[in-house]
A and B are shown apart, each in its own frame.
Chain A
Amino acid sequence: MKQRLNNLKNEALALITNTSSPEELESLKIQFLGKNGKLNEFSKDFKNLSAAEKSEIGQLFNEVKNTISNAITSQLNDHSVTTNDTFDMTLPGIKPQIGHLHPVTYAIAEISEVFEKIGFVRVRYPQVDWDWYAFGALNFPDNHPARDDWETFFIDTKPDNHLGRMLLTPHTSNGQVREMERVKVPPIRMINIAKCYRRQVDVSHTPMFHQFEGLVIDKGISVANLKGTTDYFVKNFFGPSRNSRLRPYHFQFTEPSFEVDISCDICQGRGCRLCKEGWLELGGAGMVHPNVLRAGQIDPEVYSGFAFGWGVERTYMMKEGTKIDDIRLLYQNDVRFLNQF
């Protein structure tokens, strides 16, 4: 009898602790403590007991009844808050407000990182420079169109007798001879990222923009090395499935000169309306012209090198598929644009 009572108690307690639902607890209450519940069923057997037995069992009976009742009450109280409609995990959290970096900063950081990994040294050269560094030292003839008032911004000030007119550099190539003067003896592995200026505004041009210029000079540098470097950049910046190629072109400060293309990721090189026969133009490159090496006091009989200069904004806009379709957005600084990065 005692054993049966205790078993009943344990069974009830086990069931009670395993549930927190009020509905289930209510049904357990009825199941054990109700008029037709297990305890009352049990008590029907009392008439067979002696007086002494009745007293002892009776006491235990009441204890068990109380224990079960208390357990149910306490279980209900402990879990009264966990009903479904008071906690919704899908509500938004409370977000601390942070600011934004400009897309050009992200672009420069990524580009810089790719080159620094293969030993390139990051530098920055003047934006306001002399005609000598921007054109003269780079083998431009006197009457070259880039040097006239139509394409380049000039500063209204007295020119220098040797270095020519003061201007806003239209390309980061002004860093080439400056770097040769700084390092003096190769090896040179320069990555010059700076602002440039040109007299042109439209959907793909702003008067101020950024370029990154690479310059490598050492003994035995060949076209194969230029190819290796552009391939490396293209795969690390755009993705491992992308390829680069060189095509003939012409620049004053390189010989041979190249146009560098990157394979189109939309059509995987098959040709589509966005690309040219499966290729997109990335920018210009070439082997440094011997006259430029000489202008930097480096002997072209001993050293050779290559250079490339590409637009930061343009290159970045090609990568992300960012869908930035107008470069002018980058310099309008509308918060609704800046907040997206």
Chain B
Amino acid sequence: METNATPKDIQRCLSLCGPSVERLHKKDGDFIYDIEVTTNRVDCMSVYGIAREAVAILPQFGFQASLKPLITTKLTTGAISGLTIKNDPKLCKRILALKINNINIEPSPKWLFDRLESVGIRPINNLVDITNYVMWEVGHPTHVFDFDRISTGKMIIREAVKNEKIMTLDDKTYVLKGGEVVIDDDHGKIIDLPSIMGTANSVVIPQTISALFFVDSVESPKVRFASMSHSIRTQAAALLEKNVDPELGLTAIFRMAKILKDILPQSKISPLLDIYPHKPEINPITINIAKFNDFIGVNLDPVKIINILKSLNFQVKITKSVLTVTPPSYRAHDIRIPEDLIEEVARVYGYHNIPSVLITGSLPDKPHDQTFSWEEKIKTSLKYLGFTESYTYSMVNDSPDGLKISNPLSSEWTQLRTGLTPSHLKLISENIGKDKQLSFFEIADVYLPQKHGLPIEESRLIVSSNSSDYYKFKGHLETFLSDLRIQNLIPGIKFIEQSFIWEISVNQLITHAKTVKTYTPISKFMPLIEDFNITLSTNYADLEEKIKSFSPLISTIELTDKFNSKLTIRLTFLSSDKQLTKEDIASIRTRIENFH
């Protein structure tokens, strides 16, 4: 690419509109770009791919940029003598092959050696280096065989059978699972794992005098299958998994031929063998030109929109207000719907040029279920009563009735919990000694498995404490309940492992709550207050209930003193109709005094 933009300019502009240039390294007077390419843009995984982007983007910022052509030589197509290739179109989309004679295996010239090294690729020898250089320059995987090591002169593309063995060029042995695409020499010997890695038995060696440049495009699911199953993660596999354009394969082999001729002028090149059974059609996309501005929220001139598309090598036909756009072959895989075209225009125009407009329009309805405000009330109340909120993991390993995770990350997290208590007992025990008293609360879901379908995710409140004072804990919960105007609910407190625990579903709490407190008119009359000494025979709750039932004039009962089973209770008598006198309550008093 020719441009008047500096490397820093290129970094800035590209990152805003296209591939993200993460870092710029300065080395020996030149610059190395560290670029992060998104998974949908395999066409950018090469120097030329980035240049194509830059040439469309830089002019938007006022820079000049033009692409230098890649293919500058001619090759004749035809058969290669001494070589028969039998392809299976279901397994491999395209095969390109070029035989080269009269060669010497030597270290690469300095320019090639240095270029590869500067981007972290280890130079090996001139032929291998050409394949690596072109792969990174053009963006399609390439390979080179020692022609004479293909002793039969035959290459059959087939699927591997289970338990076949291969040794790759890095001297690792693999036992194949069956289904991987391999090249067979027609005598049952596997001589390549195409699109992934070469095998030791066919690669170029120092004595090689005749070689075969080979560019193949194996079907991407097959490549992914072989690569992932054996963990052979090569750049070639990465490119083909993402459906790199077979047309780039053609560019690649032309480049290999050119560079070879430059390095070894005495080399002889055969005709180019091109097996391409099914060249795919690229489907054009139609879009109403108004849609660009509507969707992006700008007011671009139609000419500008069309120019941006053309700068990306898109073919554009206009009929009235409808565009028919055909992407280049290397974008056919990711440009398929009108929105893809809109993205191209928007990003090259520049997202930074789009205005910032808040949404207007009508507001949506609220859902019926609104537990959020209740959660806030519950949390605030418990906070001010002295409890500390925790967030414990939903995943546990002590909930055998819970849903099982089939691929857990750790043996501690194998099930989804059906209760919060075990998590809080663990929480308390892990915090012993870190504070004088531990009092926690949490609102979280438990996951109750159902016979069919998703589990019920029930929201629960848990309050836990390692205090030893039961009445103090109970008192806090009673204040909490009255603060939230929750009536007729007695907290079921459990004592487990030296801790007090109360767990309840949030829904249950809410159904007992009143959102509005009703006003009771203040009585015009004075209450009568009297203390009674009673011996407790059952429990206090029963006693209180019984006494309350004696008369509606009893407005409050308060426990003021207790010594073993001897209680002092203070009763308040009040009437809204008349001022009570001691005579009015005499009969009630007698009943209480005679109560057992």
> Would A246 and B408 count as touching, CB distance under 8 A?
no
Report if A208-B386 is in contact (Cβ < 8 Å); known contacts: A225-B359, A247-B15, A256-B343.
no
In chain A, positions 201-240 with a C-beta closer than 8 Å to chain B are 201, 207-208, 216, 218-225, 227-229, 231-232
In chain A, positions 108-159 with a C-beta closer than 8 Å to chain B are 109, 112, 118-119, 121-124, 126-130, 143, 149, 153-157
A201's nearest neighbour on chain B, judged by CB, is B409
A45 CA / B240 CA spacing, docked (Å): 126
> Would A334 and B434 count as touching, CB distance under 8 A?
yes
> Would B403 and A155 count as touching, CB distance under 8 A?
yes
A98 CA / B382 CA spacing, docked (Å): 9
Chain B residues, CB < 8 A from A160: 453
Chain B residues, CB < 8 A from A224: 296-298, 354-357
Q: Does B20 contact A (CB under 8 A)?
A: yes
A220 CA / B357 CA spacing, docked (Å): 12
> Would A330 and B387 count as touching, CB distance under 8 A?
no
Q: Nearest-CB distance from A272 to chain B (Å)? A: 15
Stretch with Cβ within 8 A of B (4 or more), from A52-60, A73-81, A183-191: A183-191
Chain A residues, CB < 8 A from B40: 250
Report if A99-B352 is in contact (Cβ < 8 Å); known contacts: A119-B363, A155-B405.
no
Chain B residues, CB < 8 A from A255: 337, 339-340, 342-343
Chain B residues, CB < 8 A from A47: none
Q: Chain A: interface secondary structure?
A: mixed
Report if A336-B358 is in contact (Cβ < 8 Å); known contacts: A156-B406, A166-B454.
no
> Would A153 and B389 count as touching, CB distance under 8 A?
no
> Would A248 and B297 count as touching, CB distance under 8 A?
no
Q: Does A61 contact B (CB under 8 A)?
A: no
Q: Nearest-CB distance from B359 to chain A (Å)? A: 5
> Would B454 and A227 count as touching, CB distance under 8 A?
no
> Would A99 and B340 count as touching, CB distance under 8 A?
no
Q: Mark B309-323, 1 if CB is under 8 A from A, else 0.
A: 000000000000000
Interface size class for chain A? 35 or more
B338's nearest neighbour on chain A, judged by CB, is A290
> Would B364 and A121 count as touching, CB distance under 8 A?
yes
Report if A207-B409 is in contact (Cβ < 8 Å); known contacts: A336-B435, A338-B388.
yes
A290 CA / B15 CA spacing, docked (Å): 26
Chain A residues, CB < 8 A from B39: 250
Q: Does B221 contact A (CB under 8 A)?
A: yes
A153 CA / B395 CA spacing, docked (Å): 11
> Would A207 and B354 count as touching, CB distance under 8 A?
no
A148's nearest neighbour on chain B, judged by CB, is B228
Q: Does A339 contact B (CB under 8 A)?
A: yes
Report if A232-B358 is in contact (Cβ < 8 Å); known contacts: A207-B393, A255-B337.
yes
> Would B409 and A130 count as touching, CB distance under 8 A?
no
> Would B339 and A128 count as touching, CB distance under 8 A?
no
Chain B residues, CB < 8 A from A208: 393-395
From A100, A128, A207, A225, contact of B447 by CB (8 A): A128
Q: Does A105 contact B (CB under 8 A)?
A: yes
A249 CA / B409 CA spacing, docked (Å): 29
Q: Does A304 contact B (CB under 8 A)?
A: yes
From A154, A197, A335, contact of B388 by CB (8 A): A335
Chain B residues, CB < 8 A from A228: 356-359
A304 CA / B361 CA spacing, docked (Å): 13
A258 CA / B351 CA spacing, docked (Å): 9
Q: Nearest-CB distance from A94 to chain B (Å)? A: 15
Q: Does A97 contact B (CB under 8 A)?
A: yes
A201 CA / B410 CA spacing, docked (Å): 10
From B391, B404, B410, B453, contact of A333 by CB (8 A): B391
In chain A, positions 310-341 with a C-beta closer than 8 Å to chain B are 330-331, 333-336, 338-339
Q: Does A245 contact B (CB under 8 A)?
A: yes
A99 CA / B437 CA spacing, docked (Å): 11
Q: Does B479 contact A (CB under 8 A)?
A: no
What are 25 of the A-B contact pairs (CB < 8 Å)?
Answer: A112-B372, A124-B372, A127-B447, A128-B447, A130-B454, A154-B406, A154-B407, A155-B405, A166-B454, A183-B364, A187-B363, A207-B409, A221-B359, A222-B357, A223-B346, A227-B297, A229-B359, A245-B352, A247-B16, A249-B38, A257-B343, A287-B295, A330-B391, A333-B392, A333-B427
- Residues of chain A at the chain B interface (Cβ within 8 Å): 97-102, 104-105, 109, 112, 118-119, 121-124, 126-130, 143, 149, 153-157, 160, 166, 168, 182-183, 186-189, 195, 197, 199-201, 207-208, 216, 218-225, 227-229, 231-232, 245-250, 255-259, 276-277, 287, 289-290, 304, 330-331, 333-336, 338-339
- Residues of chain B at the chain A interface (Cβ within 8 Å): 12, 15-18, 20, 22, 38-41, 221, 224, 294-298, 337, 339-340, 342-343, 346-347, 351-352, 354-359, 361-367, 372, 376, 379-380, 382-395, 403-410, 413, 416, 427, 430-431, 434-435, 438-439, 441, 445, 447, 453-455, 457
